[in-house]
Structure 1
Amino acid sequence: MMLNCLILGDIPNGFQNLKRFINDTSFTFLAQHCQSFDAAMPFLDTATIHLIFAGAPPPQPETLFTEEQTSMSVLVLSYPDNNPYPFYVCHEEVLFPHLTYEAFYNLVYRFYNIINMEGQQTIPPRTTDHFMIRCENHYEKIKYEDLRYLEVMDDHILLHTKDQKIATREKLDWIMAQLPLSEFMHVHRWYVVGFHHIDQLEEDHLYIGSIRIPVSRNIQPEIEKRYKKRW
């Protein structure tokens, strides 16, 4: 099981290593860093985020010279079927700088055991092995395990599966919200790849079969870490 993490807001002083801690831990995955709650909602609505590390909101002009934030909250989410809202916060802890890797690991390992072993805080597993996507005047069934990569074109998106290419005019954000966050990654402006289908990872590109896919420079360090713990 992988704990999908989301950072919300600015990272306060003393927590600069948080992203590295998440990436260096074998059972945690940084799904996204969002500056606002509105930007985070597409990910929260997918029922796949386990932990939110809530930092500071972007500073306003009148608060630029006030005392800096010295703490950070970590929220554990739950997605019960009978809840009127998409999720609720079932646990919260406050973190103080300077956060060491040992303290971080002990914290997330404790949450991992709670989520994995005790049913009340477990995020429901996906009930299907596929999602449905609209293609012109019909819908196509896409199995997660068959989806190799997505290619963004001028006016549509191509989904490359093991056996076919499927064109859709759905937005990329919507498609990403249907995918398991720990198994797919937006590696380039025009490409999203499935980690289990990567055959070779190079400095600025990767291969899925014989297809060469570029990798953005700022994504390279993260994809290397994710690639190593894809199984």
Structure 2
Amino acid sequence: MVIRTLIVDDEPHAMAIIKKYAAHIPEIVIAGTCSNAIEAFQIIRQDKIDLVFLDIKMPGLLGTDLVRSLKRPPLVIFTTAYQEYAIEGFDLNAIDYLLKPIPLKRFLQAIDKVMQFLNGANKNSAQAGEEELPPPADQFLYLRVERRLIKVNTRQILWIESIKDYIKVITREKVFQTKQKISITEKLLPMGAFMRVHRSFIIPLSKIEGYHPNHLMVAGNKIPIGRNYKQACARKFDPEAGPADHTR
């Protein structure tokens, strides 16, 4: 696998750090570097770019505005010193969000997300992609709650529930509510560790206590299975049941 990568940052030191880290990853090929979003826009339109390390606060055009201007943006990892941009970045379907100065460990975790996403996309195009993958260590979901950025360990999540344009992230200790679409949240979770079972519910596979064709048990609670998700759930949780059992 070759991942053609563009680095966009107006800080030469930050750009050099990413290039240094990327040298450890054989799959990453640095296709170009630039110091502003306008130049990056031209490169992305003219060249095949799979991944962009994109600073947000740059003169002329913000990195977030660059992503909005592209009809089919490549995978994006935002890199910035400003934590307040995190939610906006994730709303734009960023694969990850790295705060400067970027530790090598966080860089590698972000690349792991890219690899999982690309491998999952290739696998799903050839088959149903039902293989369960363990979540990476220390993976977090970032939520904007009451003007604060909250970091939730994905291994502590019991389920995620959507209410219109809001989501509720339920853990054993707390319930976090934030304005975010569940479809965006689904893309930010560890691939293979969570499953959408209803238009309004996502659950971690490791927390499932029981299966019924109409619901799943999680922490003693019934989580409904949506009509459009019943066959996938039946294949996952009751593969030996016949077709009639899947529609009870």
Relative to its length, the structure with more helix (as a share) is 2
**TM bracket, shorter-chain basis:** 0.3 to 0.5
TM-score by length of 2: 0.43
TM-score by length of 1: 0.46
Q: Which has the higher contact order (CA 8 A, sep 6+)?
A: 1
